[in-house]
Each structure stands twice: as C-alpha cells, then as structure tokens.
Structure 1
Amino acid sequence: MDKFQAFGKNISATFSPFAQRTQQYVKEQLGQVEDKTQLPPDYIELEKRVDALKLVHQKMLQVTSQYANEAYDYPPNIRESFNDLGRTITEKVHLLSTATSPTEAQAALTAPPTAKPQPKTFNHAIARASLASSQTLQHQHSGAGEDPLATALEKYALASEKVGEARLAQDAQIQHRFLAGWNTTLNTNLMFATRARKNVENARLMLDSAKAKAKSGPGWSLPGQAGRKEGDEHDESYMSEEARVEVEQAEDEFVGQTEEAAGVMKNVLDTPEPLRNLADLIAAQLEYHKKAYEILSELAPIVDGLQVEQEASYRKSREGA
C-alpha cells in the first residue's frame, strides 16, 4: 500500500506541473489572463536574432544542399546508356589511339566499365558528347591527316572531363567544410537554443500559474483583522505562506531559466563557425573556378591554332580554285 501511495505521489508530481502549464497556456490563448509576466527586452532581442540566424541557415541550406547531389547540373533531356558511362574520357582516348579500324574505334567508345559508372555532371556529359562527336567526324573523314574539328572536339572532351573532376572536388570540399558545419549549427546549436527557450516559456507559465493560484486563493488575515477586501487581490500581504513560497520558487526558476537561455543564445550568436564555414564555401568555389580557368586557358590557344590553320587551308583551296 505504501509503495502504491508513493507511486501515486510521483505520478502526481510529474503530471501536476504539466497540467498547470497547460491550463495557464489555454487561459492565455482564450484571452482569460490579464497579467502576463514579460520577458526582459534584451532577452527578446536575443530571441529575434536567433530566429533570424535559424532562418538564414534554413534558406542557405535549402539551396546549397544541392552540392551533395552529384547530378545537380546534369541536363534532364540527355539519354546516356550504360556503355556511354562505362569509362573515363581519358581511358577512351587511350583505347581509340590504338584502334586500327572503325570497328575497333567503336568498341573503344563502348568498352565495358572498369570501375563505377562515370559521373553525371554537365561537364562530364559535354566531355562524352564531344568525344562521340569527334569520332563521328573522324569516321567520315576521307582526306589526309585528321579532321581539325574532330581533333578540337577530342581535346575539348579531355578538358571538359578535367573541369568536371574539379567540380566534384569542389562539391566534396563544400559538403565537408560548409554543409556539415551549417547542418550542425541548425540541428544542434540552434536546437539547444530552442530547447532553452522552451524551458523559459514553461517556467513563465508556471510562474503565472502560481501567481494566479495565489490571487484566487482564500488568503488569510490576523486575528481581529478584517478579511480580504474587494480590490486587494494584487496585495501580496494576503498571500498564504504556502502560496508565497510557491511564487518565489517559480520566480527563481523563471529567472534561472531565462539567464541560462540567454547564455545559450549568446553562444550560438557569437560562435565564428558559420562565418568560417562560409569562407570555406567561397574558397572551394574559387579553387574550382581557378582550375577551370587554367584548364580552358590551356585549351583555348590550341583550338585557336587549329582554327587558324583550317582558315588558311580553306583560303588556299579557294585561291587555287
């Protein structure tokens, strides 16, 4: 019997605060509460700043999370087969260089994969299309030497693959140094702040519930004194000792939770991690564009040279005609 009573007391102690908070919350929502404990202005300002920081993280991650999707720039209208994705452009060019017939060249283009399928990025797709186009021209070229456009397309294919690999390296850096950090801030640091703020709200509800309970109680008066008069509800001298203790404890809890939540929010707002992560994002993008610039800068004069040679050959043939 004693164990059952102890169990009942534990249940009551657990349920009672929840019931008090819920009752107070419902009264506030129904507009049945006139006095509501106000939070300090500095605390409210911290809440607004934390809410803004959370919104920024959600908005940025909604877009930048695409860096975790390899095919974010892969054209949806492309239809590539398993064989198209079989080998790297570098491997295919090497196989084509040893081909002695159109049949062997075609086999080189459709050689089975040696590892996982090739990436589905825009640059890799351009590389595959360029190499296939180069071979199409080369198969139909009947003159001496190589078709200059076919040669240029093959070199463009190799360069595009290198740019695609640089993009994948960028994406890996962004996932590791930016997305991971901002997701941690959103799902851990900001969640701690949200939890601390919830504790403050619960403490406030308990405080206001205790105040309301004290005001509505029967009160007490000394012998020979008149009882509570109308309008004395706000006079704390009419509180019972038990009610006074309950209010004071609730006030202490509210102040403590407010101070703790303020500290958590300041820590979230002051941490340099989000800005450091953003710097890492920019650095990864810069490195990618720098490599892409270097690759294309090396290719451009080669293609320009082929174009100049073809124009000279074209003018010479026209003059001879």
Structure 2
Amino acid sequence: MDSFSRFTQSVSTGWTPFADKVSKGFTQYKQMANESLGSGGDVTELPTDYLALERRYEAVRQSTVVLVKLAKAYTAPPTHFDMESLQTQFSSLTSRIGGKQAEGASTSAAAAAAAAPKTTQHEIARASLDLSEKVGLEEPLGAALFKFGSIEEKVGAGKLAQDAAVQAKFVAPMSDTVESGIALAQNARKQVQAARLSLDAAKSAFKSARPDRADAARRDVEAAEDHFLTIIEEAMRLMKAIVESPEPLRCLSQFVAAQLAFHKEAAELLGDLAPEIEEIHVTQEALYRHDNK
C-alpha cells in the first residue's frame, strides 16, 4: 500500500508541470478564440516603444534571411547546364569530324559530363578547350577558343576563391545570426503574445469572478501583468541586439570586398585577352574579304 501511495504521489508530482502547461495553453487558445469572435473583452495593447522596435527588428530580420538565401544561390555551383545534351552535341560534332579524333573527343565529352561543374566559367573553359582541339589550333577560331578557354579557367578559379570567401565571411556568420539571435528574438515575440493572451484571460476571469474568488483572481491578474512586462523587456532586449548589431554591416563589407577582388582579377585577365582575340578577328576578316573579292 505504501508503494502504491509513493507511486501515485510521484506521478502526481511529475504530471503537474505538464498539466499546468496544457492548462495555460488552453487558456491562451480560448482567449484567442474569444477575441476572434469579438467576445474576448478589452485587448491589452502592446507598448508603443515595443511596437516601434518590433517594426525595425522585422525589417532587419527579413533583410538578413533574404540576403543569406541570395548569397547561397550566388555561390552555389551551376545547375543549369544539361550535361547529357552537351555530351550529345560533342558526339554529333566529332562524328562528323570522324576517325580517331571522334573517339577521343567522345571519351573527353564523357569525362566532362561525369565531372560536376565548379563554376559557369569552368564550363565555358572546358567547352572552349575541347572545341579548340576539334577545330584545330592552326585555325584562327581554334586558336581563339584555346586562348579564351585558358583565360576562363583562370576566371573560374577566381570565382571559386570569391565564393569561398563569401561563404566563410558572409553566409556562415549571417546564418549563425538567423539560427541564434534571430531565433531567440522570434521565440520571445511569441512569448509576448502568449503572455498578453494570458493577461487578458486573467482580466476577463477577474471581471466575472465570484466575490469569494475576487482576491485570488486579482492576484492572478497582477502576476500575469508582472510576467507580461518581464517578457516584453526580454523580447525588446533581444530585438534591440539584432537591430543595433554591426555584424550585418561587417559581413556585407566582406561580401563586397570578395566581389571586388574577383571582378578586378577577372577584368585584368579579360583585358589582356580582348586585344588578342580582336587581332585574330581582324586578321581573319581581312583574309576573308581578300579571298572573296
């Protein structure tokens, strides 16, 4: 009998927190339902400074989430290339060239399709270098494609370095902000709404309380008010930390620096290549016009 008594006492002790949580949740849900039906009584207004801070915070939160998403897409490997289609085009081209060249080109195309593309520039480089061999380096177009492919390979390497920098110095820290500071602030905002519902439910219960329950109901209102104010202060502290943090600006500065370094290097490489391609073009055009007089 003593064992059974201890068991039931243990169950009762362990059950109470869960039961309290369910009871509070039901009270908040009931209050929300009453308010939606217009029978919830007066709704406690949130402080104006809280609402003003919440608007600022929400703008920063949305900006952070959107920028992280865009930065991830910006640094992601290209997925728009249809490697099977490219392989078919290579096979079709080399079959017309014929012989051992075709067999070698087909093997090259298969290897290209098997390798995952690193950047768009790497894809352009690989295609240009392969086609330069098919056309022949002694041909003007083949020579130009070889030069172009070689430079695009270097530009692709620069793009990889930029992407790594953006991932490390922008995506990673900004994602941490979303998953830590912003997540905490979001949870605090939910708690503010829950505390507000509990307070209004306590006020409503106090208004309809029997005389013998009036004092207890009043104490419930006071406790709910204290909790409501405490939760608001905590939520404001967390939101203010997000709004005033210099971290997004530091990360954005790093993003810009990574882009600047990449585009500067790419501009130098392409700046050296452009006159070479133009020279080949001018020479070929002169020969073409001379032969077709």
Size of the alignment, in residue pairs?
A: 275
The equivalent of 1:167 in structure 2 is 159
Report SS of the residue matched to 2:211.
Answer: coil
In the aligned structure 1, how far is the partner of 2:252 from the partner of 2:56?
19
1:4 to 1, 8, 12: 8
Deviations 1:95-140 (A, max 9, x none): xxxxxxx9589748946969x826253322222232233223328x
The equivalent of 2:26 in structure 1 is 19
What's the offset of the Cα at 1:284? 1.5
Q: Cα–Cα, structure 1 residues 78 and 113, in superposed 2: closer, same or farther, change >3 Å? A: closer
Q: Cα–Cα, structure 1 residues 79 and 108, in superposed 2: closer, same or farther, change >3 Å? A: closer
Deviations 1:141-169 (A, max 9, x none): xxxxx333322221111011111221222
What's the offset of the Cα at 1:211? 1.4
In structure 1, runs of 5+ residues without a counterpart are 85-101, 140-145, 221-238
Q: Cα–Cα, structure 1 residues 12 and 107, in superposed 2: closer, same or farther, change >3 Å? A: closer
Q: Cα–Cα, structure 1 residues 300 and 32, in superposed 2: closer, same or farther, change >3 Å? A: same
Report if the CA contact (8 A) 2:162-2:258 is conserved. Answer: yes
Q: Cα–Cα, structure 1 residues 247 and 113, in superposed 2: closer, same or farther, change >3 Å? A: same
**Paired-residue identity, %:** 37
In the aligned structure 2, how far is the partner of 1:19 from the partner of 1:130?
67
Alignment of 1:69-108 (within 5 A): 69-72=76-79, 74-76=80-82, 79-81=85-87, 103=100, 107=104
Between Structure 1 and Structure 2, whose CA radius of gyration is higher? Answer: 1
The equivalent of 2:209 in structure 1 is 217
Q: Cα–Cα, structure 1 residues 6 and 36, in superposed 2: closer, same or farther, change >3 Å? A: farther
What's the offset of the Cα at 1:218? 1.6
Q: Cα–Cα, structure 1 residues 57 and 78, in superposed 2: closer, same or farther, change >3 Å? A: farther
Alignment of 1:1-321 (within 5 A): 1=5, 3-4=7-8, 7-8=11-12, 10=16, 11-72=18-79, 74-76=80-82, 79-81=85-87, 103=100, 107=104, 110=107, 117=115, 119-138=117-136, 146-219=138-211, 240-310=214-284
In the aligned structure 2, how far is the partner of 1:7 from the partner of 1:80?
68
Q: Cα–Cα, structure 1 residues 81 and 182, in superposed 2: closer, same or farther, change >3 Å? A: same
Q: RMSD of the TM alignment (CA)?
A: 3.2
Report if the CA contact (8 A) 1:200-1:257 is conserved. Answer: yes
Report SS of the residue matched to 2:85.
Answer: coil
Report SS of the residue matched to 2:260.
Answer: helix
Q: Cα–Cα, structure 1 residues 209 and 147, in superposed 2: closer, same or farther, change >3 Å? A: same
What's the offset of the Cα at 1:40? 0.4
In the aligned structure 2, how far is the partner of 1:106 from the partner of 1:214?
88
In structure 2, runs of 5+ residues without a counterpart are 91-98
Report if the CA contact (8 A) 1:109-1:132 is conserved. Answer: no
What's the offset of the Cα at 1:75? 4.0
The TM-score normalised by the length of structure 2 is 0.80
User: What amino acid does structure 1 have at the position aligned with 2:67?
Assistant: M
What's the offset of the Cα at 1:257? 0.7
